[in-house]
Structure 1
Amino acid sequence: MITRDIDAFLAFARDAAPDFGPATARAAFLVAPDGFALAEQSAQDNAYMADAAAFDAQRASMQHRNLHRAISTVLPTVCFAGDPATPDALFPNNVFGTAAGRCIIGRMRHPVRQREAIRSDIRGFFAEMLGRDEVDLSVQPHPCELTGALVIDRASGLGFCGLSERCDQAGARLMHDAFGLRATLLFDLAPGEYHTNVVLAVLAGRAAVVCPRGFADPAVPAAIAGLYAPHAVVCDDAEHAAFVGNCIALSADTVWMSANAGAALSATHRQALADAGFRVETVVLDAIEAAGGSLRCCIGEVY
């Protein structure tokens, strides 16, 4: 099922058993922020990006290394070299995704990011080292920026896909099929939002973090929060702006977000995550956040 009909999706989702696959990734991969700088093309539709003067390549590199070290405590994590010709490559989950037996390569909207998809080292890692079948969506015309646009409940096989310049309806269908999902809910993001994973996270299949202001139709975040109730965190504007929605569960008992997000997270919402069985872990990423993404954007998942 792939639909815009909220009621039809909920009727299906409520009966979806948590047996689709592992709720969290087996491993992770990163791409180093080598040549970290403002990507002017990406800035056209990413309102979270700072001005060029705010980019500090040395600090971003240090913070990225600290991120690698931190998440390696909970799951195996590899880091590929960056490339100054692809300044957004430190956000690899938009370009490379995985499902059982497959590596999926997305179609990026901007040419500066389309360059990332042709990397032979990352393709070879999945195809030759891990023996994954390649599903290459990068050569077709519809933008589909993988787990930036599509938030997935891996336990139940459910997708939540926000449409914007970074993903159209045809691209959403391609991703739904590539990831082999049971059901995907389509909806429009609010004007000015570029990726769903900035305003929504599904944590290990049992909790959700939702930023309602990021959705064009308020019925959509309300429905998603209801689906995961009582373990739903509904962010206020300050939490939204600090990237609380750009969090990720990397194990059954940890949810990771940036230090700025952790500082903005209210005590009530921190307790809500604890009630869902999650300990909040944070990493300082303010330099990286100048590029318009945060912790979850940096992490590619290996399922």
Structure 2
Amino acid sequence: MITRDPAAFLAFGRGCAPDFGPATAKAAFLVAPDGFARAEQSAADNRYMAEAAAFDAARACAQHRDLQRAMAAALPTVCFPGEPQSPDALFPNNVFATVPGRLIVGRMRHPVRRREAERPDIRAFFAKTLGYAVHDLSGQPHPCELTGALVIDRARGLGFCGLSERCDPDGAALMHEAFGLRATLMFELAPGEYHANVVLAVLAGRAVLLCPDGFADPDAADAIARLYAPHTIRLSPAERAGFAGNAISLNPETVWMSATAAAALAPATREKLARAGFRLQAIALDALEPAGGSLRCCVAEIY
């Protein structure tokens, strides 16, 4: 099922058992912020991106190494070098994603990021080292920025696709097929939002962080909230602006987000995370966040 009907999706989703696959990844990879700078093309539709003066490449690289070091204590984490001609290539989850045995390559909206999809080293790592097949969407015309636009409940095989300039309905359908999902709900993001994973995070298949003001359709937000009740955690505009929605579970017990995001959390939000069985892991990424994304954007999962 792929639909824009929140009620139909909710009815279907409630019948999906958490037997689709592992709720969290077995490994992850990052791309270093070499040549870190403001990408003007990306800034055209990313309101979270800062002005050029806020970019500090040395601090960004140091914080990125700290992120890899922390993640490596939780699961195997590979880091590929960055490319100076791709100044915002530190967000590989928009370009590369996996299901067991298969690498999916997305189609980026902006030309400055399309060159990332051509990287022979990342493709060879999966195809030759891991023996993964490659499902390549990068050459077709419809934008589909993978797990930036599409938030996935891996345990139940459910997708939540935010439509914007970065993903159109045809791109959503291509991703639904590529990931082999049971059902995908398509919904328009609120004006000014560019990716669903800034306003929505499914945590290990049993809880959800949800920013209601990031959805153009309140019925879509409500359907997702009802699907994950009682572990639905609604985030305030201030928490969203701090990137609290850009979080990820790297194992079933922990939710990872930036230190900026953690500092923005209300006490009630922290309590709800604890009640859902999550420990909070916060990493300082304030030098990376001027690029318009945060911790979850940096992480490409390997299933």
2:61 aligned with 1:65, yes or no?
A: no
Deviation at 1:221, TM superposition (A): 1.3
Unmatched 5+ stretches in structure 2 = none
Amino acid at match of 2:23: A
Deviation at 1:274, TM superposition (A): 0.9
Give the secondary-structure state (helix, strand or coil) at the position aligned to 2:297. helix
Give the secondary-structure state (helix, strand or coil) at the position aligned to 2:131. coil
Deviation at 1:155, TM superposition (A): 0.1
CA offsets 1:37-73 (integer angstroms, 9 cap, x no match): 0000000000000000100000000100000011111
Deviation at 1:225, TM superposition (A): 1.1
**Cα separation, 2, equivalents of 1:95 and 1:53:** 27
**Cα separation, 2, equivalents of 1:171 and 1:219:** 22
The runs of 4+ residues in structure 1 deviating greater than 4 Å are none
TM-score by length of 1: 0.99
**Cα separation, 1, equivalents of 2:237 and 2:193:** 14
Residue aligning to 1:156: 156
Q: Which aligned pairs between 1:73-152 and structure 2 lie closer than 5 A? A: 73-152=73-152
Deviation at 1:8, TM superposition (A): 0.7
2:216 aligned with 1:234, yes or no?
A: no
Amino acid at match of 1:79: C
2:188 aligned with 1:198, yes or no?
A: no
Amino acid at match of 2:115: R
**Cα separation, 2, equivalents of 1:138 and 1:45:** 20
Amino acid at match of 2:44: Q
**Cα separation, 2, equivalents of 1:88 and 1:167:** 18
**Cα separation, 1, equivalents of 2:11 and 2:164:** 26
Amino acid at match of 2:123: R
Residue aligning to 2:166: 166
Aligned pair count? 303
**Cα separation, 2, equivalents of 1:96 and 1:227:** 27
Amino acid at match of 2:286: D
2:195 aligned with 1:188, yes or no?
A: no
Amino acid at match of 1:210: L
Unmatched 5+ stretches in structure 1 = none
Residue aligning to 1:249: 249
CA offsets 1:214-264 (integer angstroms, 9 cap, x no match): 110112112111110111110001101000000000001000000010011
**Cα separation, 2, equivalents of 1:221 and 1:69:** 35
Give the secondary-structure state (helix, strand or coil) at the position aligned to 2:243. coil
Question: RMSD of the alignment, in Å?
Answer: 0.5
**Cα separation, 2, equivalents of 1:277 and 1:153:** 17
Aligned identity (percent) is 71
2:277 aligned with 1:277, yes or no?
A: yes
**Cα separation, 2, equivalents of 1:173 and 1:121:** 28
Deviation at 1:100, TM superposition (A): 1.6
**Cα separation, 2, equivalents of 1:54 and 1:7:** 43
2:46 aligned with 1:46, yes or no?
A: yes
**Cα separation, 1, equivalents of 2:82 and 2:260:** 24
TM-score by length of 2: 0.99
